[in-house]
């Protein structure tokens, strides 16, 4: 690093997800030096993670090495490191390996993790979906369940292997349920000899009264009908009370299921704990209207790890466009400060909510305009391809989807991280 760059105002950004990366991009030309820290070496497009878990896309189609994304920015240093604390009084970020990184301005964009409502012991039986490792673990469990069913002669055990329980009917649960049904009914049948994969049960369990609760009633009802039409069993109003090696318990009954997927709850990263800052029940840091941490004007926090009522008085949703808008705002706020100007409070503007249910089935809520069915599905697909980074990823995902659309073939059906001797769990 040149001496000229070294003398610049130092912005440290923790987390290269949607929020942190957007801040980095938007600070281009701001006359600051940036250290971007992430415990993973890649930026991940989480909205398509379920497609990796269901063998529709490969891991490399939805992730990018962070270093590559900032290769043209000499003022950005990338650190592959886990942050485990902040010494705010000394303006230092503390890394797990004992190193410290000092900052002039700090941006925390560390996202969320799974939450099991106080039942962390369920996690080994019901893994969630947040990282690429989670996705490949789920893919493995789903594919191994079919492989074991093929060799199982006991009808009860075979039925349990062919039952997939998904806890939580938000967008991730709905998308997983729809895609596992398609995998079982359209992609796999020809490849198995002893087991009819079309008989697989996919059970979507939701404690609330409707699927896609964040969508308007009519779209939610449409999604429910569509899921049942394609073969998903939807269970509403039943909270899961146990997940174990044999299956899942709800409403006092055990559903024997060898594959359980947790899509029900999240908990914020430890950003609020690091600072001893106020947080909501999910651990989300409560930030000021300008996205700074109360009492620390030099620390901004953005994305899923914070809570702020900046959407016409309502909490900003935990979605990628919100994290990106916050990242954009923080970059503008840092530039404004350096220029001696002030900024109006952050305001979130919502452009719409999308969820895919299955082939030619999706719902979109643009506010006044609501779409469902095939048109919504095409728009959903085009929007997701548009938001991927780079032409190569866009072409690759478009080609994979075209193949699935025309031939029902999913090329990423690879069982990795274990041999045939390894059990599903
Ligand atoms: C399965 C799934 C599906 C989703 N689908 C959609 C969708 O369809 N549409 C939509 O808009 N949103 C969707 N979301 C939500 C969206 O992905 C998030 O809102 C968005 O990623 C939030 O961005 P962020 O920057 O706050 O956090 P993230 O993108 O999660 O990034 C956080 C980053 O911080 C890093 N990090 C965390 N802790 C540390 C630490 N201690 N040290 C170093 N680095 C750390 C992580 O490695 C990660 O790279 C989905 C999320 C999931 C999990």
Nearest atom in ligand 1 to the alpha carbon of residue 354 is: 8
Q: How far apart are CA 354 and CA 349, in angstroms?
A: 15
Q: How far apart are CA 138 and CA 132, in angstroms?
A: 10
Ligand 1: which of 35, 47, 78 to mutate, most ligand atoms within 8 Å of CB?
A: 47
Question: Are the C-beta atoms of 262 and 277 separated by less than 8 Å?
Answer: no
Phi, psi of 120 (to 5 degrees): -60, -20
Give the closest residue (by CA) to ligand 1 atom 50.
47
Task: Decide whether any atom of ligand 1 lies within 6 Å of the 177 Cβ.
Answer: no
Helix (H, G, I), strand (E, B) or coil at 108: strand
Q: How far apart are CA 205 and CA 184, in angstroms?
A: 19
pLDDT of residue 409: 87
User: In angstroms, what is the span from residue 98 Cα to ligand 1's centroid?
Assistant: 25
Closest to 108 measured CA to CA, from 305, 259, 340, 337: 305
User: How many other CB atoms sit within 10 Å of the CB of residue 279?
Assistant: 19
Helices (H), 164-293: 171-182, 217-230, 271-275
CA distances (Å), 343 to each of 32, 59, 108, 267, 272, in order?
Answer: 18, 39, 19, 30, 24
Q: How far apart are CA 152 and CA 26, in angstroms?
A: 55
pLDDT per residue rounded down to tens, the chain (425 residues):
666 677 899 999 999 999 999 999 999 999 999 999 999 999 999 999 999 999 999 999 999 999 999 999 999 999 999 999 999 999 999 999 999 999 999 999 999 998 998 999 999 999 999 999 999 999 999 999 999 999 999 999 999 999 999 999 999 999 999 999 999 999 999 999 999 999 999 999 999 999 999 999 999 999 999 999 999 999 999 999 999 999 999 999 999 999 999 999 899 999 999 999 999 999 999 999 999 999 999 999 999 999 999 999 999 999 999 999 999 999 999 999 999 999 999 999 999 999 999 999 999 999 999 999 999 999 999 999 999 999 999 999 999 999 999 988 888 888 987 666 545 55
Task: Decide whether any atom of ligand 1 lies within 6 Å of the 269 Cβ.
Answer: yes
pLDDT of residue 223: 98
pTM across the whole model: 0.95
Question: Are the C-beta atoms of 231 and 201 separated by less than 8 Å?
Answer: no
Q: How far apart are CA 393 and CA 384, in angstroms?
A: 11
For residue 124, the number of C-alpha atoms closer than 13 Å in the C-beta half-sphere is 7
Nearest atom in ligand 1 to the alpha carbon of residue 42 is: 49
- Got the DSSP string for 316-368? PPSSHHHHHHHHHHHHHHHHHHHTT---PPP------EEEEEETTEEEEE-SS
Q: What angle do CA 44, 48, 49 make, to 5 degrees?
A: 65
Q: Tell how strand 296-301 and strand 105-108 pair up.
A: parallel
Task: Decide whether any atom of ligand 1 lies within 6 Å of the 37 Cβ.
Answer: yes
């Amino acid at each position: 690093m040149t001496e000229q760059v070294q003398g610049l105002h130092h912005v440290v950004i923790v987390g290269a997800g949607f929020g942190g990366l957007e801040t980095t991009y938007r600070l281009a030309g701001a006359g600051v030096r940036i250290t971007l820290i992430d415990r993973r070496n890649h930026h991940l497009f989480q909205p398509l993670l379920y497609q990796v878990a269901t063998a529709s896309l490969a891991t490399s189609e939805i992730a990018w090495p962070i270093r590559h994304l900032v290769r043209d920015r000499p003022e950005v240093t990338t650190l592959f490191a886990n942050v485990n604390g902040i010494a705010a009084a000394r303006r230092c970020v503390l890394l797990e390996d004992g190193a410290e990184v000092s900052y002039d301005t700090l941006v925390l964009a560390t996202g969320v993790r799974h939450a099991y409502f106080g039942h962390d012991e369920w996690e080994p039986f019901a893994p969630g979906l947040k990282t690429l490792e989670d996705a490949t673990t789920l893919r493995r469990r789903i594919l191994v369940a079919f492989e074991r069913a093929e060799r199982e002669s006991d009808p009860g055990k075979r039925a349990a292997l062919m039952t997939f329980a998904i806890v939580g009917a938000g967008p991730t649960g709905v998308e997983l349920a729809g895609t596992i049904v398609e995998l079982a009914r359209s992609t796999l049948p020809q490849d198995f000899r002893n087991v009819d994969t079309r008989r697989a049960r996919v059970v979507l369990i939701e404690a609330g009264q409707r699927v896609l609760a964040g969508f308007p009633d009519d779209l939610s009802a449409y999604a429910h009908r569509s899921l049942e039409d394609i073969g998903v069993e939807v269970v509403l109003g039943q909270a899961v009370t146990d997940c174990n090696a044999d299956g899942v318990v709800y409403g006092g009954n055990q559903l024997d299921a060898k594959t359980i997927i947790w899509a029900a709850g999240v908990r914020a990263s430890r950003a609020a704990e690091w600072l001893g800052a106020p947080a909501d029940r999910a651990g989300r840091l409560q930030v000021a209207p300008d996205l700074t941490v109360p009492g620390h004007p030099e620390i901004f926090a953005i994305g899923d790890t914070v809570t702020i009522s900046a959407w016409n008085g309502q909490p900003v949703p935990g979605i990628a466009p919100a994290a990106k808008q916050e990242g954009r705002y923080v970059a503008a706020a840092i530039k404004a400060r350096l220029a001696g100007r002030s900024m109006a409070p952050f305001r979130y503007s919502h452009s719409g909510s999308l969820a895919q249910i299955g082939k030619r089935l999706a719902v979109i809520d643009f506010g006044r305009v609501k779409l469902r069915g095939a048109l919504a599905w095409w728009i959903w697909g085009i929007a997701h391809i548009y938001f991927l980074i780079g032409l190569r990823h866009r072409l690759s995902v478009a080609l994979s989807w075209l193949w699935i659309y025309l031939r029902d073939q999913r090329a990423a059906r690879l069982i990795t991280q274990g041999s045939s001797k390894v059990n599903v769990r």
